[in-house]
Each structure stands twice: as structure tokens, then as C-alpha cells.
Amino acid sequence: MTDFNWLLALFLAPLVGAVAVLLVPKGADKLAKQVGLVVSVVVFALTVAMSLQFVPAEAGDFQFSFAYDWIPAFGVQFAMGLDGIALVLVALSTSLVPVVLLAGWDDVGPESRGSVKGYVALILVLEAAMIGVFAATDVFLFYVFFEAMLIPVYFLIGRYGGARRSYAAVKFLLYSLFGGLLMLAALIGLYVVSGDLLGTGTFDFTQLVGLDIPESTQRWLFLGFFVAFAIKAPLVPFHTWLPDAAAESTPGTAVLLVGVLDKVGTFGMLRYCLELFPEASTWATPVVLVLAVVGIIYGALLAIGQSDLKRLIAYTSVSHFGFIALGIFAMTTRGQSGSTLYMVNHGFSTAALFLIAGFLISRRGSRVIDDFGGVQKVAPVLAGTFLVAGLSSLALPGLSSFVSEFLVLVGTFERYTWAGIIATIGIVLAALYILLMYQRTMTGEAPDEVREKVHDLRGREVLAIAPLLVVIIALGFYPKPVLDVVNPAVDRVMQSVGATDPAPQVGGPVAEGTQQ
């Protein structure tokens, strides 16, 4: 058992599962869903078993690592490993997939434009790509997974989405391909530069960290990576594809798109931009901070003005990603730990919001917020779960997002007070867009269509949503296990950038004199 390659097994399991789903006889849609759900649960179980063997004290180093020669002529390896940051994001990915399959059991059926088994297989392939992109320790392999994720998402939106699915899928693809081309150019440049400095080019992340890349070259390479990640995140002004893609997707696809895939952008900023290009990251920090705080306020304001339920949730995520980017580029331990925790917490709270919104929309047959009202009278459990998910999204104390948002703001205030002050306004706006959404959909008199069509959560739906709410509450009261895993990896990032936390400020001449 000691020689068992946990990470490779974790990566291969959903791919094998996708093949198994495709081999299901035609027309056996229920069996295809059952096979997909069982495979996703097995993958999650593998993640839990692997995580129990992870050593938190060594979370700054890559564990479960392996490397196989892939393209020897260019030094490309099929190499993977997990540090603390990658581990929690892989765990987020594998925990959401079974929830998505269970909650979206009836999202795709015989009357759908695409086959049921095709839908399930695409989700499992996407799961493998998500594991690969977070676990890759070869930068070229990371790029391959970064681009490969586009394929299943494109088909999940374009074949199984709403009325404007083609427009949303193509827009998503074009934005992502543009960012990918910029990253590819920077990746080639990084390979050439590493050859000049090391004598032979490499894509090995561990060898690339700490290279003395010339300042001007480093800045150009940073921009190539950063723009690709800013589009993927998305960070304002590269965000316009997200509301269309999320609104036209099935609720399950929207969960994976916003809850996991978009985290690849902020993960890339933390892992690759900061560690490979530390000087350029410091140089770009003022601009990134401005983009982050603009995104926080702008996304929140747009969310308040939305009439479409799914677009509203998508715009809240634009605001949240501003907080995540803010914490990363605050260049403080608290800020970066908070951002990593924020990625995890945002994944669970947004998943709950999208799935419950999907339940509402499927019952009422409309995404327009004004078509609802009084839902808490006819479906109190549905309304209650929606309220908990919404309160987590606005970072209510006692729920998971509060801890991460608090750490981001404290870490930002330590070094950039002006950015922290502006970002705090986003908290007030978050209360507005969440509470107004709840008021407009759940309170008041229920229209006839709501009374006739909207019913409370069924057993399967409760089973899908309950784990998300448990995690939201548990991490709100006790985030220590996640932070213990994340913090050593954050310390490594800070060391790579050459950043240190600001010394505590003790005000007043008397206090200064007492330190003599």
C-alpha cells in the first residue's frame, strides 16, 4: 500500500468512469446517472483517503509527487504533486461533483438536445481536468489542462444550456482561448529564458522558482500569465463572459464553472505569477489592487440591479473574486491564507446558491426574480436553505465566508489601508444584493403561479444540499483544519516573492519609549 500512487489513481478514476458511462447501453439513462454518481463518490472517497495521509506540517512541499517523461525533447514531464493550496482545491473539486450529479438528476433527460450519458461523461472528464490543473507541477502540463478544461465546458454549455447557449458557449470559448494564447506565448518565453539561465530549457516548476530572470523579461512573462488568469477568474474588466455562461448553463454546470473552474485563475495568480515572477508581481501590485477593488464594488452594484436570478449570483461572484485577488496581492500571510480559504468557501456557498436557484427555476419555469415571491410560505425548507446559502455569501459571522473575508481584509489593511477601506464597502453592498434577492423571491404574497408550481425540497434535493450547508456552518466555526494545511504553502509563496508581513505599528511616542 505504501507504493500506491494515490494522486495518479485520483486523476485516472474519473476518466475510467467516463468511459464506463459511455459504454452504458443506449437509452439506459438512469443507469448512466447511477454509474456517474458512484464513480464521483469513489473519487471523493479516494480524496478523503489521500488527504488523511497528507502531512500538514510539510504542506509547503509537494506530496504524493510523481513524474513520467512525456516529451523528452523539450523536457516536458507528466508530473503532479500536491501542496496545501492544491490539496484543498482538489478536495473542493471532487466534493462538488457528486453533489452536482445528485442535485441535477433531472436537469438532463431523454428530451434534452444531448444524451444523458454524454452529459455525465463530460462532467467526469471535467473532474479529471480539474484535478490535473491543480496538481500539475510541470508548467507545460498545467497549460495543457488549463486549455483542456475548455472542451467539456464548451459542450456542457453549448449542448445542454438555455436558449442563448450557443452565444454563451462561443463567448466563453473565445475569451478563454485568447487568454490561453497569451499564456502559451509567455510559456515559450519562459522555456527559452530557463534554457539561457540553466543551460537547458525546463518546464519543471520547482526548477523555475527562484530563477534570476531579467526584470524587463519577467514583466512581459508575468503579463502573459496574468491576463490569462484574470480572464479565467474573471477579474474586471475581463469578466463579461461569466454572467452569460452561468445564466445559460444548467445549475450543475454553473456550479463547476463558478465554484471550481474560475478558481484556476486565482490559483494561477498565487502559484505561478507570484512564485515564478516575484519582481514583476510586486511591480504590478498597485494596478491589480485597483482592479480588485473596482471588481468588488462594480460586481456588487451590477448584482443589485439584476432581474435574472442566475445572472445576479454570477455577478456576486465577480465581486467575490475581487476579494480573492485583493488578498493574494496584498502580499501578507493573512491576506493570502484568507484568499485560499475564500476560494474554498466561495465554492461551497456559490454551489448552494446556484443549485437552490436551479430548483426554484425548474419549478416556476422562469429565471426572472419578479416572477417569484412568497416562496417561504409554500416551500419553507427551500427558503431556509436559500437563506443560509445567501447569508454565507454575504459573510455573516458564524458561516464560512466570514472567516476568509475577515482574513483578506485584515491582511489588506496591514499593508494597503486605502484598498481595505474601499473593499469594506463591498460588505455593505453584499448585504444589499443578498437580502434584496431573498426579499423579492421568498417573502410577501405568493403569486398564483408560485402557489401552484413551487413545492418544497424532495428527499434527493435535501440529500444534495445538506452536505454543502454542513460544510458552510462547520468552516464558519472551525476553519483551523483547512488553514493548518494552507498556511505552510502560503509561507512558501511569501518566501518566493521575498515578502514579509509588516511589523505591528505601536502608536505614540510613549509606546515607542517603552520599547527601549
What pLDDT is recorded for position 448?
84
What pLDDT is recorded for position 500?
85
In the chain, DSSP finds a helix count (H) and a strand count (E) of 24, 2
Do residues 84 and 60 lie in contact, with contact meaning Cβ atoms separated by under 8 Å? yes
**CA neighbours closer than 13 Å in the CB half-sphere of residue 458:** 10
CA angle 281, 333, 183 (to 5 degrees): 30
d(Cα 344, Cα 326) in Å, to the nearest integer? 16
SS3 for 207-272 is: HHCCCCCCHHHHHHHHHHHHHHHHHHCCCCCCCCHHHHHHHHCCHHHHHHHHHHHCHHHHHHHHHH
Instruction: Find residue 79's DSSP bridge partners.
Output: 67
Sign (positive/negative) of CA torsion 444, 450, 451, 455?
A: negative
What pLDDT is recorded for position 241?
92
What pLDDT is recorded for position 16?
96
What pLDDT is recorded for position 511?
43
What pLDDT is recorded for position 73?
87
Residues of the chain with pLDDT under 50: 1, 508-516
d(Cα 430, Cα 423) in Å, to the nearest integer? 11
Alpha-carbon distance values, 118 to 122, 152, 248, 430 (Å): 6, 10, 18, 37
Contacts of 311 (CB under 8 A, 6+ apart): 243, 246, 247, 367
- The per-residue DSSP string of 450-499 comes to HHHH--PPPHHHHHHHHHHHHHHHHHHH--HHHHHHHHHHHHHHHHHHT-
Reduced DSSP (H G I as helix, E B as strand, rest coil) percent helix, strand, coil of the chain, to 5: 75, 5, 20
Q: What is the pLDDT of residues 203-234, one digit of tens each?
A: 999 999 989 899 999 999 999 999 999 999 88
d(Cα 291, Cα 223) in Å, to the nearest integer? 14
Residue type, position 423, single letter: A
Q: What is the pLDDT of residues 439-481, one digit of tens each?
A: 999 988 888 888 888 888 999 999 999 999 999 999 999 999 9
d(Cα 364, Cα 224) in Å, to the nearest integer? 44
What pLDDT is recorded for position 510?
43
